[in-house]
Amino acid sequence: MEALWQSILALLATFVTPDWAALIELLPIALAVIVAAWFLLTIRSFATAGPTRRAPARRAPVAPDHLHMPGPSTAPILAAGGTAALLWGLVVGGNALILGAILLVLTLLYWGREAIRDYDHATGSASSLPAVIHAGPPPGVHMPGPSFRPLLGALGTAALMAGLVSGGWLLAAGAIILVVTLVGWLVDAKAEYVKTAAADVTGHLENIPAPAWPRRLFQGMAALFVVALLLQTGVIPPKGGDTATGGTDGSPAPSEDSGATGSSFAIVAKDIAFDMTRLNVPANTAFVIAFSNRDVPGVAHDVDVRAADKKTVVQDQAVVNGGESATYSFDGLAAGDYVFICSVHPIPQMTGTISVK
C-alpha cells in the first residue's frame, strides 16, 4: 500500500513541481508544431474553398490581363521552419544555434532566388511590349496598398531575438517593439477589411491611404532599444562606488586576478556575467560553489563544469532563476584545466577557468 501511495505522489509531483527548464526548452518545438498546424489548416481551407465542382480536376486560376500575380510558393513555409530552428538554437545553444542560423539563411536564400526569378519573369518582356499604366486594379481585384508594416515587423522580430540572447531589459524592449509593430499591422489589416466589406454595398473598392514614413515610430523604437541596452550594460543608472570592494548593489567587483583557491567558492551572476573568471581547486577533492543569480527574474543561469573544449559536459547543475540562489556540490576532478560555464548563456562573460592541481 505504501509503494502504491509513493507512486501516486511521484506522478502528481510531475504536474505540481515540473522541470521548468525542460519545459522552456520545449517552447520552440511547441511553437513550431502550432505554426505547422496552422499552415496545414490554412492549406486545407484554401484547398476546399469555393463551390464543389463535378469536373475531373479544378481549373487553374488565371490572373486578369496585364496583371502579374506571383505563383504559389513554399518559401514562406520553409522560412518559418528556418526561423523556428533558429529560435530553438537560441534556447539550446551550442551547435544547435549554428545549425538554426544555417537553416534560416538557406531558406531565405531560397526565397530570394524565387523572388528574383519572379521579377525576371515579370520584367522580361518589358523591352518588347509597350508600357501599360492602370489607374487601379481590374474590377473585382483587391490589391493592398503599400505598407511599412512588414519592415517594422522584421525590425521588431530582430529586437526580440536580440532580447532572447541577452535577456533582461533587452528582452522586455524587444517584446514591446514587436507587439507595437504587430498591433499597428493589425490596425492596417482592419482598415483594409472595412474597405473591402464596404465594396460589397457600394460596388466600389478603395484602398486605404498610402502611409507616410513612420519616423516617430522608428525614433521611438530606436530610443527604447538604446535605453534598454544602456540599462542592460549598467551604464544607467551609474554604478559608482568603490570598484575594489564591489558595486553599489553589494555585488563583488569582477575579478581578473589569479583566482580564488580552495574547496568552497562564491560566484555571483549579474548583468549576464560572472563576477569571477578563475578557480583553483585541489585535484580529486570535492568542492562547493555558492551561486547567486542577481539578474532580474526570468533570466536563468547555472554553473556547469565542462572540459577545456567548452563542449564536453563533465558535471551538470540545475538552472537558477533570477533573484534566487543555490549551492552546487561537485565531485573531485582529475588534474588538468576545465571551464565553468552557464549553459543558458555560453558567452565569454559567463565562462571561467578551473585549474585543478
R_g of the chain computed on alpha carbons: 28
Does the pLDDT at position 317 exceed 70?
yes
Residue range 241-252, pLDDT digits in tens: 443 334 444 444
CB 199 within 8 A of CB 205: yes
d(C-alpha 1, C-alpha 7), whole Å: 10
pTM above 0.75, yes or no: no
In the chain, count of helices (H) and strands (E)?
8, 9
- Read off the C-alpha cell for 318: 540545475
User: Partners of 280 in the beta sheet?
Assistant: 261, 355
Q: Which residue's C-alpha cell is 578551473?
A: 354
Confidence of residue 135 (pLDDT cuts 50, 70, 90): low
pLDDT at residue 254, rounded to an integer:
44
DSSP conformation letters of 156-176: HHHHHHHHHHH-HHHHHHHHH
Q: Angle CA(164)–CA(168)–CA(97) in degrees, nearest 5? A: 20
Write out pLDDT tens, residues 224-235. 988 888 887 777
Pair 278, 258: CB distance under 8 Å: yes
| pLDDT band per the 50, 70, 90 thresholds, residue 197 | confident
Question: Looking at this protein, which amino acid is placed at residue 186?
Answer: L
- For the record, the C-alpha cell of 220 comes out as 521611438
Average pLDDT (327-343) is 93
Taking residues 115-144, report their average pLDDT: 64
Report residue 213's pLDDT band, with 50, 70 and 90 as the boundaries. Answer: confident
**Three-class SS state of 288:** strand
CA distances 218 to 181, 211, 279, Å, are: 10, 14, 46
Q: What is the mean pLDDT of the chain?
A: 80
Reply yes or no on whether the pLDDT at 208 is more than 90: no
Q: At what angle do helices 168-202 and 149-166 cross, to 10 degrees?
A: 160
Spatial strand order in the sheet of 325-330? 264-269, 287-293, 325-330
Cell of 236: 544607467
* Predicted pLDDT of residue 142: 62
The answer to whether 293 touches 320, Cβ cutoff 8 Å, is yes
- Sorting pLDDT into bands at 50, 70 and 90, what band is 147? confident
| Confidence tier at 187 by pLDDT (50, 70, 90) | confident
Q: Measured between alpha carbons, how far is 297 from 139 in angstroms, rounded to an integer?
A: 56
Task: Name which of 7-11, 103-107, 146-150, 285-289 the model is least confident about.
Answer: 7-11
3-state secondary structure 276-292: ECEEEECCCCCEEEEEE
What single letter denotes the amino acid at residue 49? A
> What was the pLDDT predicted at 67?
66
57-66, 164-173, 191-200: least confidently modelled range: 57-66
